[in-house]
Structures are given as C-alpha cells and as structure tokens.
Chain A
Amino acid sequence: MACAASTEPAGRFDLDAPWQLDAQVRVRPEAFGALLYHFGTRQLSFLKSPALLAVVRSLGAQPSARAACTAAGIQAEDLMRYELALQTLAASRMICKRGTA
C-alpha cells in the first residue's frame, strides 16, 4: 500500500508522529548504511550511516520518529541531522505517516 501524496506542507518533519517505511520500498544494507529503492516511483535513496538505517528500520515499531531515534541511540545534539534526513525521505515518499496510507 503506497503512501498518500505528501500530507505535510513543505516544512518541518513531524518527529512526534508515527511513521513507517512505504510498503513499496525495499532496503539493502551496505557498509556505508543502506540503499533504498521505491518500486512505485523507481527512485533510489541512500542512507548514509548505519545509525540512520537503524532508525528507519524501527520506525514502524515505534510510537513516533523521535522514539525511533532514541531507540537507535541517537544523541540529542544529533537529532536535528536525523530529522533532516527523515524529512528528505518523507519528501521522496520512502517513508510515510502511519494511518495515512
């Protein structure tokens, strides 16, 4: 089931909402992080760190993106960078809010 077209106005990523990987996305772990491929949009994305991969993988099981970051051991001072990365993934429909699909 695909994400609805972006539900967020171009702006901040909602860290406190529940998120998940889009059902049409596949993940291939690599030494630098991972490769994501969206079969619907035929777009590739790169996760440039293993920690970001851990965050993305746990999104679906955590109550919020913030909780997923905490669970992956992301420090408060690094949270902003992960928020930006997640925002980029949301803009390219790699991840979507749970319940909007």
Chain B
Amino acid sequence: MSTAPLPLAEQFQYGLQAPICLTWELTYACNLSCVHCLSSSGRRDPRELTTAECMAVIDELQRMQVFYVNIGGGEPTVRPDFWALVDYATDHDVGVKFSTNGVKITPEIARRLAGRDYVDVQISLDGATPEVNDAVRGRGSYEIALRAMANLAGAGFAGFKISVVMTRHNVGQLDAFKAIADRFGANLRITRLRPSGRGADSWDELHPTAGQQRELYDWLVAHGKDVLTGDSFFHLSGFGSALPGLNLCGAGRVVCLIDPVGDVYACPFAIHPSFLAGNVRDPGGFARVWQHSELFGGLRRPQTGGACGSCSAFGSCRGGCMAAKFFTGLPLDGPDPECVRGHGEQALAATATAPAPRPSPDHSHRTAPYRAGERRPVPLTLSVRPPENAAQPPVTACNPDPLAGFVPQ
C-alpha cells in the first residue's frame, strides 16, 4: 500500500473497537474530601457493583482486549475486595494502574505490589509541601502520601507514579515535585484541573492564571520527555508547538469512564446525565455501550470547530476540553475556558449570568472539614426544660423500667 495512512488523531476521531484509556472508579467511598474531587466522592453508594459484577466486567474487558485499566475512585483500596480484583484482572490479561491517596499502602502491601507484574501505582499529591497539599486534599494527606511513597521505594517498586493536579498554588512547585519523584525513583505525572465534581466549586480559586499557563507550557516543553501528562494539556498547544501525545479530546472515542454503580460516561471528568452512555448492567454489557450507544456515536461523528473553526490554533488544540467547557457553562463547540488566546475569558464573561450545569451525583461526606468562607453551624445555648410537674421526679436516662414516667390517670 502506497498511500500514507491518516495521522492517528484523525483515525481516533472515529472511535475504536474498545477504549485505549479506560478509567474505572470502583467506589465513591473515600477517606479524604479533596476540594477538587472530580467525582464528588466521600460516601459509598449502596448500588456499587458487587465483587462478582466487577469480575464479569473484567472478563468482558479481556474479551474486548482492553489491555489495562486505570482504577480510581473514591479511594479504591478501601473496598475490601480491592486486592482480589487487582489479582483477578492481572490474571485475565487486564493490567491495572490504580490511583490512591496512599492510605492503605503499608510496607507489607508495598512488598506485595513490588512483586507483581502488570500492576502500576499512582499516588496523588497536589502540593510539594504539606501546606499547599493539605489545603486541597485535607489535613494529614501529605504525610499519608509520602509515607506510601517511602514504603513503595523501600519495597523496591521502581517507577511508580506521583500524580499531581496543577493548581494556582502548585505551578510554582513543578521543580520541587520533580525532586520528590527523583528522590523516590518515581515518575512524575501532572494533569489538568477540571471544573468537575467538587472541582466546579473550587475551580475559580484553583485553576492556574493565564501567566501560570504559560509557565506550565514552557516547563512542559523543557521537561516533556521526563514527565507524564495523560495528554491533558493539549489546550496549551495554542502557545506554539503541539505538546507530545494525543492532541485531541478522546471522550467516547478512545477514553471513557465506568463509575462505581456501573454507569458509563464519555470521560472521567464528565459525570453528568448529559454524558451518560449506558450501564454495564444493561443487556449487552459494557461492549454494547461502547460500540452502540447513541451518545458515543455522536461524539465519533466529525466535529466542526464552531466558534473556534477560524482560529489558527484550532489544528493543535481542537477547541480544548469538553468537560471544562460544559461545567463552566460554555458551548461545546466554542473555546475552552482556559483558551490560551483569551477567547475563553471572553466567552465566560458573555455567559456569566446563566448558571453552569451542576455536576451530579454528589457523594460528598456530610461532615467534611470546614473551609474558609464556608457557613458554619450557629452555636446554641442549651438549657434544661423545667419539669411540667414538680411533684414528678425526672425519669433518668438509665431507668430500665418500660413504664418509667407513666402515670395512669
């Protein structure tokens, strides 16, 4: 054959037999309450997939030749069947990379993981110092993460990942993150903050400034080959040369999400009914959702650039991130809210009066630590109710008599 094949990004637009990058959130339960959690995790959902249902999904992924899954949550390791599911997946030709805050990575677990092929671990860390990290991830979370890293390194697990969501408060720490990764023999992975889940409420305060975006782009150009990005910064390509990786929104084309109750969404950052393609419990299972859902079919049809079509950067940024646009109330065929040419800011200003869609559902802890500016309970003064009948002594809390306090008339 002598005709040159289409570039891969062109091929991927039309979808694949099975996803390349499948994220599977195993539970909404989490010991932390990160302010930017893309899945608003905290409490387990009672409808979460059972162990047997999870194994059936793994069987199906093996049949579809999904070679590996990115497991997350919530905090996936708090599921009591987590290690059994990891073993089951790797025994069935489905490699596992799981994201964790590190809470269960004891020295013993670290030794076990170091001895396994096909398992990769990603520890989340959003600040190179406890102050910056804990402000986003909660008090004590920096210490938990670094203890997990020390345990993995101590067990000889080389090349685990340290995963950082870039925020206004940590862009300046990029070199410090790299130093932490080097110290533990780990790889640094940085990804983009999205206004998804609880991130919708914290995005305004946390997303990098325009100047920081430039700083980030320059750092990526200088260090691109030593750092993983999940190809999540393609919206920065408008600054100049395209960054390494797939410069295309992969939602529903090469990427999707299975959530803890089996719902299949177009991408991990798009947990909203508008991007729900089906459920793995439906007849035909995950394969049918991936191959035949109307939503994914629509995402795989050629997209027009819309308002971005005439921009000289469209060829490299492709209009940016679908989820970022959606949850900031922007049209999907227009600029990304963080468009480096400034079109996003203008678009945001134009839509400022209309409310953006709310992420759903919410599994947040109901007792999350209070944050600056949040409403707190009003303190009340407690007092003792005066006895209605002074002649009747009060019933004590520990009186076991079922007729205590009952006076026949």
Contacts and interface: CB of A to CB of B under 8 A. Distances in A.
B17 interface: yes
B16 A30 contact: yes
Contacts of B1: 49-51, 78
Given A31-B11, A31-B14, A42 B68 contact: yes
A75 B18 CA distance: 32
A39 B2 contact: no
B11 A78 contact: no
A26 B63 CA distance: 12
A42 B95 contact: yes
B6 A32 contact: yes
A63 interface: no
Nearest to A47: B5
Contacts of A42: 68, 95, 118, 120
Q: What interface size band does chain B fall in?
A: 10 to 19
Contacts of A33: 5
A37 interface: yes
B8 interface: yes
Contacts, number: 51
Given A26-B67, A39-B118, A42-B120, A48 B20 contact: no
Nearest to B5: A48
Interface in B1-54: 1-2, 5-6, 8, 11, 14, 16-18, 20
Select the residue from B2, B67, B68 with max chain A CB neighbours within 10 A: B67
Nearest to B3: A49
Nearest to B118: A39
B117 A32 contact: no
Interface string A8-29: 0000000000000000001011
* Interface of B (DSSP majority class): loop
Given A31-B11, A48-B5, A37 B17 contact: no
Nearest to B67: A37
27 contacts: A26-B65, A26-B67, A26-B93, A28-B17, A28-B18, A28-B67, A30-B11, A31-B11, A31-B14, A31-B16, A31-B17, A32-B5, A32-B8, A35-B20, A39-B93, A39-B95, A39-B117, A42-B68, A42-B118, A42-B120, A44-B67, A46-B8, A48-B11, A49-B5, A75-B2, A77-B2, A78-B1
Interface of B: 1-2, 5-6, 8, 11, 14, 16-18, 20, 65, 67-68, 93, 95, 117-118, 120
Interface of A: 26, 28-33, 35, 37, 39-40, 42, 44, 46, 48-51, 75, 77-78
Which 5 pairs from chain A and chain B are nearest by CB? A37-B67, A28-B65, A32-B11, A48-B5, A51-B1
